[in-house]
């Protein structure tokens, strides 16, 4: 931050190419199949069909709107549909070997487009690249390529929802992925919506998805902890993004409880619970709260006031605010108002950490460079100190909704 302005890095933004613009990033052998796929593809997402869809790929518009909103840098998660996918890429595996090969090609096309998109705004975008989990060797090769290509946002970890046919995330199958990320300093990001099983299209199914989606995303935390990924790779970083943050203290308490209970039970052979804790202490290493404190972070998208009150229990150095641009549930164009709602009255140093300092450390942004930009466009210290009265009437982010600041999973 500067003397009078905060340096804001959004730890949760989304981008992607327009559909046909992915073709140049595909290997030539996939061009004919891409033409066939693109000619019949129907985009299922209204926001990607609207006249504002170019926010995903129009670099100049994006920079201007983020600056207007007080934001000088962003962590860029995917948003548009990569080639050969029926919808978002965070989904259960394709059923055939040919479709797997095409979808890998589609994700590589996105990653290569993203590298160029980030290069168009040097020092201001940390691109989050994509992989599939069905072929670990291919995933490792893509991680190494993305690291060399400068995609500093790290890896987007797909989920393994029930019915996917993939090993669970605690499986040692994925250890080469964790090892490579730890070796290269690549953050592992797990975003909400990436791990839910398909539920159908009935009204009840959509409601159940909203209730359950963050819980399914949280599962990556205890899978990697109990699976021992952090014991084997102590420098591995896990970031949980757009899943809320108010749940973290309670879940850590729960995980600590089960860890202590099962480790203790393992020493009492012959008891009913001894088998559940057998080998756990040796395989996972440190307890869950310690692992969280040493290895984990939260992308706290449109953070709510009740979550801010838990920052010391979550870890002030863990919290990274995000605007979720350009999504409707994001805070644009009212990010300053959202920040006032959440942070008014807090110490300046704490606000600065949650708005940019933590994200700079995790994703490798140069704060001195970003401070020079924030000196012109960042929200003022005095402005964020002023509590928000009535929220903007046309704001669409749930942070402003009645009851939106009460409780979130």
For the record, the structure tokens of 99 come out as 């479709």
Element (H, E) at 154: strand 154-156
pLDDT at 407: 38
- Whether 83 is in a domain gets the answer no
Distances (CA, A) of 30 to 2, 98, 105, 276, 330: 49, 11, 8, 48, 35
pLDDT value of position 241: 97
* 13: helix, strand or coil: strand
Percentage of residues in the chain having pLDDT higher than 90: 78
CA distance 20 to 42: 13
Q: Residue 255 domain-assigned?
A: yes
Number of residues assigned to the chain: 409
In 10 A of CB 251, how many CB atoms? 15
Residue carrying structure tokens 């998208």: 301
Residue 228's domain spans which residues?
9-14+50-56+64-78+118-400
On the question of pLDDT at 89 being above 70, the answer is no
List C-alpha distances in Å: 142 to 108, 139, 160, 213, 234. Answer: 8, 5, 19, 27, 22
User: In sequence order, what DSSP letters do the residues of 77-88 get, joined into one string?
Assistant: EE-SPPTT-SS-
Q: Is 219 helix (H, G, I), strand (E, B) or coil?
A: helix
Q: Give the per-residue pLDDT at 94.
A: 66
Amino acid 404: pLDDT: 54
CA-based nearest residue to 212, from 190, 191, 195:
195
Is residue 340 within 8 A of residue 387, CB to CB? The reply is yes
3-state secondary structure of 139: helix
Residues 6+ apart with CB under 8 A from 309: none
Residue 132: give its domain's CATH number. 3.20.20.140
Q: What is the mean pLDDT of the chain?
A: 93
Structural domain includes residue 382 = yes
Look at residue 88 and tell me if it is in a domain: no
pTM for this entry: 0.94
Q: Interior CA angle at 258 toward 252 and 264, to 5°?
A: 135
- At residue 239, the pLDDT reads 98
- CB of 230 closer than 8 Å to CB of 224: yes
Is the pLDDT assigned to residue 214 strictly greater than 80? yes
399 touches 405 (CB < 8 A): yes
Q: How far is CA 250 from CA 237, 310, 318, in A?
A: 21, 11, 16
pLDDT for 93 equals 60
CB 185 within 8 A of CB 236: no
- Assess whether pLDDT exceeds 70 at residue 406: no
Number of domain units in the chain: 1
Enumerate the β-bridge partners of residue 322.
Answer: 301
Query: Phi/psi of residue 314, each to 5°?
Result: -75, -40
Which of 103-112, 139-148, 197-206, 400-409 shows the lowest mean pLDDT across its residues? 400-409
pLDDT at 405 over 50: no
Residues facing 188 on adjacent strands: 155, 238
> 328-353: per-residue pLDDT in tens?
999 999 999 999 999 999 999 999 99
Task: Give yes or no for residue 42 having a pLDDT over 90.
Answer: no
Range of lowest pLDDT (24-38, 150-164, 244-258, 293-307): 150-164
**How far is the CA of 350 from the CAs of 138, 317, 320, 321, in angstroms?**
41, 9, 11, 12
Q: Tell me whether residue 240 is in a domain.
A: yes
Q: Report the pLDDT value the prediction gives residue 90, as an integer from 0 to 100.
A: 61
Is there a domain that residue 109 lies in? no
Closest CA to 226 of 173, 262, 265, 186: 262
Q: How confident is the model at residue 189 (pLDDT cuts 50, 70, 90)?
A: very high
In a domain, 288, yes or no: yes
Of the listed ranges 156-160, 191-195, 212-216, the least confidently predicted one is 191-195
More confident residue, 325 or 3: 325
Out of 67-81, 152-166, 252-266, 286-300, least confident range: 152-166
Contacts of 205 (CB under 8 A, 6+ apart): 199
Pairwise CA distance, residues 45 & 24, whole Å:
23
Q: Is residue 85 part of a domain?
A: no
Report residue 408's pLDDT band, with 50, 70 and 90 as the boundaries.
very low
Q: How confident is the model at residue 119 (pLDDT cuts 50, 70, 90)?
A: very high
pLDDT digits (tens, 9 = 90+) for 137-176: 999 999 999 999 999 999 999 988 888 889 999 999 999 9
């Amino acid at each position: 931050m500067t003397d009078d302005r905060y340096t804001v890095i959004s730890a949760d933004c989304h981008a992607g190419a327009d559909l046909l613009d992915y073709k140049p990033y595909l290997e030539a052998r996939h061009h004919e199949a891409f033409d066939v796929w693109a000619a019949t593809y129907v985009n299922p997402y209204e926001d990607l069909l609207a006249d504002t869809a170019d926010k995903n790929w129009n670099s100049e518009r994006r920079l201007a709107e983020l600056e207007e909103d007080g934001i000088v840098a962003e962590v860029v998660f995917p948003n548009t549909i990569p080639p050969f996918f029926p919808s978002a890429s965070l989904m259960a595996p394709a059923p055939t070997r040919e479709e797997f090969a095409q979808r890998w090609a589609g994700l590589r096309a996105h990653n290569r487009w993203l590298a160029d998109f980030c290069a168009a705004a040097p020092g201001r975008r940390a691109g989050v690249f994509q992989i599939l989990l069905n072929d670990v060797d291919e995933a490792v090769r893509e991680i190494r390529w993305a690291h060399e290509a400068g995609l500093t946002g790290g890896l987007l970890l797909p989920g393994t929802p029930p019915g996917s046919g993939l090993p669970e995330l605690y499986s040692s199958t994925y250890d080469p992925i964790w090892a490579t990320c730890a070796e290269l300093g690549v953050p592992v990001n797990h975003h909400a919506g990436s791990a839910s099983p398909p539920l159908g299209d009935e009204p009840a199914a959509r409601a159940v998805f909203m209730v359950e989606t963050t819980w399914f995303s949280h599962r990556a935390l205890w899978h990697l902890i109990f699976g021992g990924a952090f014991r084997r790779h102590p420098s591995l970083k896990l970031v949980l993004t757009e899943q809320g943050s108010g749940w973290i203290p309670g879940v850590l308490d729960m995980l600590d409880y089960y860890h202590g209970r099962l480790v203790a039970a393992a020493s009492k052979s012959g008891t009913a619970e001894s088998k559940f804790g057998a080998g756990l202490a040796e395989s996972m290493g440190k307890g869950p709260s310690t692992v969280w404190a040493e290895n984990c972070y939260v992308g706290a998208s449109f953070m709510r006031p009740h979550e801010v009150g838990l920052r010391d229990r979550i870890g002030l150095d863990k919290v990274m605010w995000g605007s979720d641009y350009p999504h409707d549930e994001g805070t644009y164009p009212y990010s300053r108002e959202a920040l006032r709602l959440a942070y008014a009255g807090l110490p300046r140093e704490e606000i600065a950490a949650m708005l940019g300092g933590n994200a700079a450390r995790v994703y490798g942004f140069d704060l001195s460079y970003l401070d020079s930009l924030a000196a012109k466009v960042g929200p003022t210290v005095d402005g964020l100190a002023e509590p928000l009265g009535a929220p903007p009437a046309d704001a669409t982010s749930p942070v402003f909704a009645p009851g939106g600041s009460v409780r979130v999973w």
